[in-house]
Structure 1
Amino acid sequence: MGNSHKAILGLHGMLMLYSLSSICGKLAAGFSFLSVGFIVCYGGMIALLGIYALGWQQVIKRLPLTFAYANRAVTVVWGIVWGALFFSEPVTAGKLVGAFIVLVGVVLYATSGDDGQTSASAEGGDPAGRANGSAQDDGDGSASADGAAARAACNGEGGAA
């Protein structure tokens, strides 16, 4: 299996995990605030979201951000599945048609205008072909950092790159 396929499977695994956190949130809502049940369910939700955040960071390192965010729409499908399985919520024709439309939209978005970004990012390279932390010449003699300033800000270094 290629790196981009692994990254896409990882993306959907993270999205499933993200959607599972909603189950914990709904369960927590059934308990009195700060009761043991509330704390356990809410703690489970926070734990799942923490794991999701770490996994999401790894996924977006390998896939274009726009591609990853477009795929987040599949959580609508997981919501239908979890609602039916855990809360006996009805699965109606309208929900199924809506979920199908969302999935078609995700597929259309993901397959339209593929300019090689998915495979370049999945292999750990920059989609524009730059080395990490390098600057790109904008054609007018100036250069713009490709994320060095953002990385510096996240590391508490401040200032521009």
Structure 2
Amino acid sequence: MIKSKIKTLFVLHLMLMVYSMSGICSKKAAGVEFLSLEFCIYYGLIILLLGLYAVGWQQIIKRLPLTTAFANKAITVVWGLIWGLLFFHEKITLGKIAGVILVIAGVITYVYADREDTSDE
């Protein structure tokens, strides 16, 4: 049971990474001429990524409580920080690091609290 939940959480985080990648394509599309070939390619990638995410999300919420899945969705802030650094050469500031730490702490706290609630039943 625990292995299954860990596997589901891992897949959830992969899906959230895919979801966050649509933001990369969005920002790239915003930097090119509207309806150019490059714009259309980025826009197509956004639709593809969000479609994959939607299918994956439906599978995840079959296996996890919706509140748990949504609590983990905050982790996209971490992916945004990583993608900003890798693709857009944005600076990582102390404030951003503090924010990411708070988000991760919140997700971990919720997951552990959720585990304790289910073990009481």
TM-score range, shorter chain: over 0.9
Question: How far, CA to CA, are the matches of 1:105 and 1:13 in structure 2?
Answer: 19
What's the TM-score once normalised by structure 1's chain length? 0.70
| Match status 1:82 vs 2:68 | no
RMSD: 1.6
Unaligned runs of 5+ in 2: none
Q: Report the CA distance between 1:102 and its aligned residue.
A: 0.9
Question: How far, CA to CA, are the matches of 2:108 and 2:5 in structure 1?
Answer: 15
Q: How does 1:1-161 map to 2 (within 5 A)?
A: 2-113=3-114, 114-116=116-118
Q: Report the CA distance between 1:31 and its aligned residue.
A: 1.0
SS of the residue corresponding to residue 16 of structure 1 reads helix
What's the TM-score once normalised by structure 2's chain length? 0.92
Bigger relative CO (Cα 8 Å, ≥ 6 apart): 2
The runs of at least 4 aligned residues of structure 1 exceeding 3 Å deviation read none
Give the total of aligned pairs: 118
Greater Rg over alpha carbons, structure: 1
Question: How far, CA to CA, are the matches of 2:76 and 2:37 in structure 1?
Answer: 29
Q: Report the CA distance between 1:116 and its aligned residue.
A: 2.2
Identity of aligned residues (%): 53
User: Which residue is equivalent to 1:142?
Assistant: none
Unaligned runs of 5+ in 1: 118-127, 129-161
